A and B are shown apart, each in its own frame.
Chain A
């Protein structure tokens, strides 16, 4: 048992000068028919590694070469450089939809889409495989003995009551450079009547911006900031497990839910094996690995383990509103729309 687990080697080396890193997950069976699947993704390798490991264990003659990108960097690399791997995985649903709409994805008819929620797939081409609420994480100490805020309104009130205390202490994902930051912020701008006030209050408190959820959660746990707005719920819950002072809030008026999605490019070298991997992601086994061994939350409820998120999901008053993996998301890749949101952002935060 240990013998072949050890054989799953892990090579880490820098691929480009940029913040891209490449990891190799080798399968235990060597042979002439050994195939190395190239996957580009935006998930932290630590979070996704258990899935890769289980895949190469259960599929003979497979290894995975994973290249980690930022969500926006991944999109630009694919659409501009036209460098296509065998599978593309990203939580930036707007970019995934755009790539599919542009005709770059190859359809998969093996996947039983009726078993998936409608919002979690589009055109038999792109499939969501995780369920990730977007949370607000706070440092419990700043609330003191008072009640923990449960929605955006209460968070804003908290800041307004003590503006000096929160000055420079609010963290946001940089919507200009982080794909997920843009997706969640733009989605809020479409959904929330509080968007204007959020912008105003965060601007007034000179919010700081971070390049990803992990960096923001690190800053939160170290006390650099007190409030982390729009972080990945799965990461936030993982951090909260280790840092007791962190509280994770799923805003009760609505909590956006994003789904990491995967598709096989039309120009992939190994289309068949690519689809095989996507099918594995959605299989009960793949979903169970996500639930048990990774910090990510599986899409299919049947494989979850009664954690906080799945309990909330089942609740009749569930605040979760999944963002639909569908055509309207291409509006969130619209250049004019971006310019408008950036202008508002600049006016609020960088005056």
Chain B
């Protein structure tokens, strides 16, 4: 902005100088034209009768001095000042017209310690037996002309200054006005208690409305996260209390039992319970981690085929240890989907691991992956004991565990799987396999 002002000012002062110079030159030229009128041939003699009007033109600016001289073609001084400087490029005489645009020149010189603007004019004097010319030089000091330029500059400078001050004022006002809603938001946030996550209800101009919206959305997320966390911890506390109570009563009975065999049985129960408790804790932690990750990480492109292959490769050795076969069948072409890699991997891994866990030795776990342009379908079949109809209703409940479960595990697995599928807007269906076992079909749209 300063630069802009400087540019405006300097160009205006150039213009002022130029305008003053043009005015001054016109004045000089008209004085020269008048003086040239007074130089004539009379009876073969040059007669010079300079008109008063020419000097009156030169005295229009009351502080300026003027100098003049008339010289014959020979260079002899006819009248006027003897020592006026001559132009570097003398005017060219073209014809006998009194004064034309191409037979005068302007030039600047320092004369008598002052900067003087000069005009040199040639006038042709033509008679029957006489053809010569005279050179007229007029100089005028430039007090008024400089003053005029200064006045123009001063005027522009005042204008530029006013413009500058006004702009600064407007900018400051603008910034203050624009930032005022932000300040209000920051005040409103500062005033809140640390647990208040309700949406902001400020009146805001259109420009900052998206910000408030974003803040409110973020707060809603925080709020739901907090809500889930509360739910999780109370649920976990509740669920942990039951096995702990069981553990305590078993340990109490074992203390009072006199029968060696019974006491041993009770102690084994205690170990089993402890293992389940440990498993449950680890599931709860991994679920918490999973939830955290798929809520905090952005979705990425995941290749379902690669993911399934990796998961199967990892699980096959453990399956073979229990004489269980894992068969992978992949059909279709489009396996890419947007989603959370960690969560999808957990989903696949959990489903296949469960199938292996509930299979009998010599059983087969069949994994089918179908990739189409619309969706990815994963079908996991096992030939295990299956799930009773009563259990099917509860299998997605939090921490539900079938009463007849034999293999170690927690109820968390399927619940979390269902959550992952929901997060990806997919569907999870649980069906019976024949003759026994379970078929789980997951469809995730793209």
Residues on A close to B: CB < 8 A? 100-103, 122-123, 190, 326-328, 330-331, 334-337, 340
- Given A103-B65, A336-B70, A336-B78, verify A327-B50 contact (CB < 8 Å): no
Contacts of B56 in A (CB 8 A): 328
Q: Complex formed: what's the CA distance from A330 to B113 in Å?
A: 20
Partner of B65, one of A101, A328, A334, A337: A101
The answer to the question of B299 belonging to the interface, with a C-beta cut-off of 8 Å to chain A, is no
Cβ of A326 to closest chain B Cβ, rounded Å: 5
Whether the Cβ atoms of B49 and A340 lie closer than 8 Å is yes
Show 17 A/B contacts (Cβ-Cβ < 8 Å), sorted by A.
Answer: A101-B67, A103-B65, A103-B113, A103-B114, A326-B59, A327-B59, A327-B66, A328-B58, A331-B55, A334-B50, A335-B78, A335-B80, A336-B47, A336-B50, A337-B48, A337-B79, A340-B47
Interface size class of B (residues with CB under 8 A): 20 to 34
Beyond the given A335-B79, A337-B79, please list 16 additional residue pairs across the A-B interface where CB-CB is below 8 A.
Answer: A102-B112, A122-B62, A123-B63, A190-B52, A326-B59, A326-B62, A327-B58, A327-B65, A328-B55, A330-B66, A331-B52, A334-B50, A334-B79, A335-B78, A336-B79, A337-B49
- Given A101-B66, A103-B113, A123-B63, verify A328-B52 contact (CB < 8 Å): yes
Contacts of A327 in B (CB 8 A): 55, 58-59, 64-66
Contacts of A335 in B (CB 8 A): 78-80
The residue in chain A whose Cβ has the minimal distance to the Cβ of B113 is A103
Cβ of A183 to closest chain B Cβ, rounded Å: 14
Q: Complex formed: what's the CA distance from A340 to B49 in Å?
A: 7
Total A-B residue pairs with C-beta atoms closer than 8 Å?
Answer: 52
CB contacts under 8 Å to A, within B67-85, are 67, 70, 78-80
Cβ of A124 to closest chain B Cβ, rounded Å: 8
Whether the Cβ atoms of A334 and B66 lie closer than 8 Å is no
Contacts of B52 in A (CB 8 A): 190, 328, 331
Contacts of A123 in B (CB 8 A): 62-63, 65
Cβ of A84 to closest chain B Cβ, rounded Å: 16
Q: Complex formed: what's the CA distance from A100 to B65 in Å?
A: 9
Dominant SS among interface residues on chain A: helix
Q: Complex formed: what's the CA distance from A5 to B59 in Å?
A: 46
The residue in chain A whose Cβ has the minimal distance to the Cβ of B140 is A327
Contacts of B50 in A (CB 8 A): 331, 334, 336-337
Q: Complex formed: what's the CA distance from A328 to B63 in Å?
A: 13
Partner of A328, one of B47, B59, B70: B59
Contacts of A101 in B (CB 8 A): 65-67
The residue in chain A whose Cβ has the minimal distance to the Cβ of B38 is A336
The residue in chain A whose Cβ has the minimal distance to the Cβ of B78 is A336
Whether the Cβ atoms of A336 and B49 lie closer than 8 Å is yes
Cβ of B76 to closest chain A Cβ, rounded Å: 12
Whether the Cβ atoms of A103 and B80 lie closer than 8 Å is no
The residue in chain B whose Cβ has the minimal distance to the Cβ of A101 is B65
Q: Complex formed: what's the CA distance from A329 to B89 in Å?
A: 31
Q: Complex formed: what's the CA distance from A222 to B79 in Å?
A: 42
Whether the Cβ atoms of A336 and B55 lie closer than 8 Å is no
Q: Complex formed: what's the CA distance from A340 to B78 in Å?
A: 13
Contacts of B47 in A (CB 8 A): 336, 340
Cβ of B294 to closest chain A Cβ, rounded Å: 90
